[in-house]
Amino acid sequence: MTSASDNPRVHHGAYGTCRDPTNRLLLVHLASGLDKGQWALPGGEIEWGEHPDAALLRKMEEETGLVDIDSFRVTTVYSHTYPWSAQRPYNSIHHIGIVYEVCLEKFDLRPEENGSTDRCEWFTEEGARKLPLTPMGECAVDLVWPQS
C-alpha cells in the first residue's frame, strides 16, 4: 500500500562485515535516519558514479576510522523494502546493499563525528544478538554466525 504522496526510491549501498582476531563483529550505531538508535554494518550509500568498492572504503574510514584494509570480497547482496505506512509516513524505500567480507590489518576504531553514526564497537555473537539491529544488521549477524 502506498500513499498518494509516496515517492518510492531505491537506495544502493556498500557494507562490510569485519571481524577482529577474537571473532567479534564490527557494528556501528546509527545517529540519524529511519533506523536511528539501531546497530548496523559500517557502510552506506554509493554516490553517483562511485564504484561500490570505493564506497565501501570511504564509508569504512568515515564511520570507523579504519583505513588499513588488507582485502575485501563480496559475500552477498542484501535486499529489504521499507514500505510507506501510516506508522511510517516516509517515502517507500527498496534498500539494496552489496555486503563485503573485509579483512583488516589493524583493529583500532575511531567513531564518526557529526555524521550518520555516533559509535562503532566490536561485538560477540551473544552481544550482537541482544542489540536493537536494523534489518541489515540482523542479516549480517546471521551471515557471520549462521544459526542451525
Q: What is the pLDDT of residue 113?
A: 87
Backbone phi and psi for residue 55, each to the nearest 5 degrees, phi listed first: -60, -45
Where in the chain are the domains? 9-144
3-state helix/strand/coil string of the chain: CCCCCCCCEEEEEEEEEEECCCCCEEEEEECCCCCCCCEECCEEECCCCCCHHHHHHHHHHHHHCCCCEEEEEEEEEEEEEECCCCCCCCCCEEEEEEEEEEEECCCCCCCCCCCCEEEEEEECHHHHHCCCECHHHHHHHHHHCCCC
Residue 3 pLDDT > 80: no
Share of the chain above pLDDT 90, in %: 75
pLDDT tens-place string over residues 15-60: 999 999 999 999 999 998 888 999 999 999 999 999 999 999 999 9
Residue 147 pLDDT > 90: no
Q: What is the pLDDT of residue 119?
A: 95
Q: What is the pTM of this model?
A: 0.90
pLDDT tens-place string over residues 78-106: 999 988 777 766 788 899 999 999 999 88
Residue 2 pLDDT > 60: no
pLDDT tens-place string over residues 49-71: 999 999 999 999 999 999 989 89
The CATH number, out of the four listed (3.90.79.10, 3.30.1330.10, 3.20.20.80, 3.30.460.80), of the domain defined by the range 9-144: 3.90.79.10
Q: What is the pLDDT of residue 106?
A: 87
Residue 130 pLDDT > 60: yes
As a whole number, mean pLDDT of residues 133-148 equals 92
Q: Counting every residue, how long is the chain?
A: 148
